[in-house]
Amino acid sequence: MNNICVYCEIEDGVVADVSLELVSKASKLASELNCEVEAVVISSGTEKIAEQITPYGADTIHIADDKRLHPYTTLPHAAVLTDIINRKKPQIVLVGATSVGRDLAPRIASELRCGLTADCTDLVIGDYSDPKSGREYKNLLYQIRPAFGGNIIATIVNPETRPQMATVREGVMKKEKTAKQHKTKIEKIDTMKILDNVNFAVKIIERHIEPRKVNLGAAQIIVAGGFGVGSKEGFDLLNDLAKIVGGEVGASRAAVDAGYADHSRQIGQTGVTVRPKLYIACGISGAIQHRAGMDSSAQIISINTDPEAPINSIADVTLVGDLHSVIPKMIKFYKEQSK
Amino acid sequence: MAFRIIVLAKQVPDTRNVGEDAMTSDGTVNRAALPAIYNPEDLNALEQALLIKDKYADTEIIILTMGPPRAADIIRESMFRDADSGYLVTDKRFAGADTLATSYVISKAVEKIGNYDLILSGRQAIDGDTAQVGPQTAEKLKLPQITYAEEIIDIKKDKVTVKRRLERGVEVVESSLPALITVHSSAEKCRPKNAKLYMKYKHAKTPTELQTIADDYLNQSVRNKDYLQIEELSVDDLKCDIQKIGLAGSPTKVKKIDNVVLQSKDSKVIRDNDTEIRQLMQDLITNHTLG
Ligand SMILES: Cc1cc2nc3c(=O)[nH]c(=O)nc-3n(C[C@H](O)[C@H](O)[C@H](O)COP(=O)(O)OP(=O)(O)OC[C@H]3O[C@@H](n4cnc5c(N)ncnc54)[C@H](O)[C@@H]3O)c2cc1C
């Protein structure tokens, strides 16, 4: 049977959230397609990795453990993953749209001469009939993504080539443990048979990876600021509100570009996707690309001086006013009443 | 020391400023209504090449672009900044190419140009944001790839040292040459056009463009100068396998295009006054959204 393969990214012995999200998604797609999920781990010191993946629904975990495989470099990871794909012939391969995934996936797609769709915002199984040949295809992967700067949504399919490959950004899919107990098989890969010197043309000399400071994906409450916040200092006010209500601070791209907030806080099509219980948008106009990352929030409050701001049309509550005056009041009344 | 560098550059519609008039009534994009610009990160890539040329004056910078005839603009724009020459890969049969078919054609053109030390390109183009063509071209040419370069720290005859910008940090890597490097927007901005170079190269033309110059004198004077010739490459020039180009060579098919729909909600509007904000906070606490 042609299964679904998920490349799992590892940093500091921990599987990336985006990979677990993809295993969760794969396990849903697999039950629709009546096939299995195969996770792939390529790293070193992998003893504690499988147990992190199993609860999300992997039937098999392929593990390539070799000192030379961590930290990530393109060629050896590509060689190992290509080897697995060639042997197992999965129908679908999913990779996180991270700096690693976006480096790796195209290299492999080129080698396998298969289609690849970057930054999908949804993956759905469906049929396709080719308008030219009239041929019918059953159970293809619809790879849905924004195109043209987010102004349109395209549905892409790969009728003829296998595997069907897609990358997905963090937070787009939900990380969910499977209900049923999984008996996961572990398959060890002999890297000596796959890797040779040409795979090590690129050497890492220095590496500084900062620990993740913010985890917007896990936040239940997000106070997000846009260009309307006006300054870095303005974000202090948002921090204050986030702190007392137990939330995280997010930002629009315009606020990040202006230097008010760090890039790791960017929400939207080219940032992270979030779906908190409450999203408070402060001084954010609500461009398509921003909404793409937050419009499935359970509740949205928009604070904006402009009653016509596009964000207001998806907000449950629109607070028309200057955020510099509104937020201190929110803090004050919250403190008064939460006592 | 001197290097032969090929810079991959693309002309793109400026998707960053999509006005209302750029969207057609059926929700698709009217490309013609968008200004055509030099893909921003390809300019960052060009600057990295120029910095190497600043250091090693005999370095040769060759621009390779694929697109319709008007994409020759990209080559002239590069010449005005001190690129030496350019190739325009253009043929109607390339139309409909996805990133796989595109990288195949680019790799064929690179092979034709030949004898290079380094290939540079932008990380991604703003009309697709896929970041795939760089790595796919590297794979087709069996070259090592270094993506998201912020700075080329050092280059020697057969070794390059590059600082990469990652999501949560930086990495310095060393690679053998030749290699393909994709450049990130955090790299040095491209220098402006140079007035002298503008005068020198403003009449640089492709053979197709030359046919449209009515002025015999100008036409002849352009033909007489080698450095004003922009080469055109077609499917036949590159001996492309027809099955690997255009729509036929593209495994991805667009099933459909949708307008972005705004699911608007009934929004409750409140004003900036104590009573209404106190009520809002109270409601949020009562329904357990907060606290
Ligand atoms: C390919 C592509 C990808 C993109 N990806 C993203 C992405 O991931 N995330 C993202 O956010 N954007 C993204 N963008 C950018 C997006 O198009 C918008 O430019 C951006 O979201 C605008 O940010 P903003 O709402 O903060 O700024 P603006 O649009 O400038 O809005 C500022 C808002 O603040 C309000 N305001 C001003 N002063 C005050 C005040 N004192 N009090 C209250 N309100 C005030 C104004 O009325 C206005 O509504 C992308 C664009 C492209 C082309």
Does any ligand 1 atom lie closer than 6 A to the CB of residue A255? yes
For the cut 80, the answer to whether the pLDDT of residue A273 exceeds it is yes
For the cut 70, the answer to whether the pLDDT of residue B20 exceeds it is no
Q: Is B58 buried (19+), middle (13-18) or exposed (0-12) by CB count in 10 A?
A: exposed
The separation between CA B89 and the C-alpha centre of its own chain, rounded to angstroms, equals: 14
pLDDT of residue B215: 87
Domain residues of chain B, as ranges?
Answer: 4-244
Q: Of all atoms in ligand 1, which is nearest to the CA of residue B129?
A: 1
Is residue A118 one of the residues assigned to a domain? yes
Does any ligand 1 atom lie closer than 6 A to the CB of residue A189? no
Instruction: Report CB contact under 8 Å: A107, B139.
Output: yes
* Residues forming beta bridges with residue B61, ordered by sequence position: B5
Taking one residue from A and the other from B, the number of pairs with CB-CB distance under 8 angstroms is: 244
Q: How far is the CA of A154 from the centre of ligand 1 (A)?
A: 23
Is residue A64 one of the residues assigned to a domain? yes
Q: How far is the CA of A255 from the centre of ligand 1 (A)?
A: 7
Ligand 1: residue whose CA is nearest its atom 11 = A252
A190/A45 same-domain check: yes
Q: Which domain does A120 fall in, by range?
A: 4-196
Of A73, A212, A314, the CB nearest to B265: A314
A47/A185 same-domain check: yes
Does any ligand 1 atom lie closer than 6 A to the CB of residue A171? no
Whether omega for the bond prior to residue A71 falls within 30 degrees of 0, making it cis, is: yes
Instruction: Report CB contact under 8 Å: B135, A115.
Output: no
Give the torsion sign (CA, A204, A205, A210, A211).
positive
A77/A139 same-domain check: yes
pLDDT of residue B26: 56
CATH, residue A234: 3.40.50.1220
Task: Let me know how many helices (H) and strands (E) chain A has, helices first.
Answer: 8, 18
Contact yes or no for B235/B93 (Cβ under 8 A) = yes
Q: Of all atoms in ligand 1, which is nearest to the CA of residue B15?
A: 53
Q: What is the mean pLDDT of residues A289-300?
A: 94
A8/A124 same-domain check: yes
pLDDT of residue A181: 72
| pLDDT tens readout for residues A81-121 | 999 999 999 999 999 999 999 999 999 999 999 999 999 99
A240/A274 same-domain check: yes
A144/A225 same-domain check: no
Q: Is B142 buried (19+), middle (13-18) or exposed (0-12) by CB count in 10 A?
A: exposed
Task: Please state, for a pLDDT cut of 70, what percent of chain A lies above it.
Answer: 100
Average pLDDT across chain B, whole number? 93
pLDDT of residue B152: 98
Q: What is the mean pLDDT of residues B94-120?
A: 97
pLDDT of residue B262: 66
Q: What is the mean pLDDT of residues B29-48?
A: 90
Give the torsion sign (CA, A63, A64, A70, A76).
negative
A280/A249 same-domain check: yes
- Give the total number of structural domains in chain A: 2
Is residue A145 one of the residues assigned to a domain? yes
A17/A153 same-domain check: yes
For the cut 60, the answer to whether the pLDDT of residue B28 exceeds it is no
Distances (CA, A) of A185 to A8, A38, A89, A137, A190: 16, 9, 17, 31, 16
The least confident of A227-231, B22-26, B43-47 is B22-26
Does any ligand 1 atom lie closer than 6 A to the CB of residue A312? no
* Residues forming beta bridges with residue B162, ordered by sequence position: B152, B173
Q: What is the mean pLDDT of residues A68-75?
A: 97
Measure A5 CA to nearest chain B CA, in Å: 19
A96/A220 same-domain check: no
Measure A322 CA to nearest chain B CA, in Å: 8
Q: How far is the CA of A287 from the centre of ligand 1 (A)?
A: 6
Beta-sheet strands, E only, within chain B: 4-8, 11-13, 36-38, 60-66, 85-89, 118-122, 145-156, 159-166, 169-176, 179-183, 231-233, 253-259, 268-271
pLDDT of residue B290: 86
Whole-angstrom distance, CA of residue A73 vs CA of residue A200: 8
* Most A-contacting residue of B167, B172, B287 (CB-CB within 10 A), to test interface: B167
* Residues forming beta bridges with residue A280, ordered by sequence position: A223, A301
Is residue A201 one of the residues assigned to a domain? no
| pLDDT tens readout for residues A181-218 | 778 999 999 999 999 999 999 999 999 998 887 889 88
The separation between CA A174 and the C-alpha centre of its own chain, rounded to angstroms, equals: 9
CATH topology of domain B4-244: Rossmann fold (3.40.50)
Is residue A49 one of the residues assigned to a domain? yes
Instruction: Report CB contact under 8 Å: B255, A337.
Output: no
Q: Of all atoms in ligand 1, which is nearest to the CA of residue B18?
A: 53
Q: What is the mean pLDDT of residues B156-182?
A: 96
Is residue A139 one of the residues assigned to a domain? yes
* Most A-contacting residue of B18, B105, B145 (CB-CB within 10 A), to test interface: B145
Is residue A296 one of the residues assigned to a domain? yes
CATH, residue A175: 3.40.50.620
Instruction: Report CB contact under 8 Å: B128, A318.
Output: no
Closest chain B residue to A296, measured at CA = B263
Two tokens, residue A29 = 């797609």
Q: What is the mean pLDDT of residues B246-255?
A: 94
Contact yes or no for A40/A8 (Cβ under 8 A) = yes
Measure B225 CA to nearest chain A CA, in Å: 39
Measure A60 CA to nearest chain B CA, in Å: 28
A125/A234 same-domain check: no
Q: How confident is the model at residue B253 (pLDDT cuts 50, 70, 90)?
A: very high
pLDDT of residue B218: 87
Is residue A205 one of the residues assigned to a domain? no
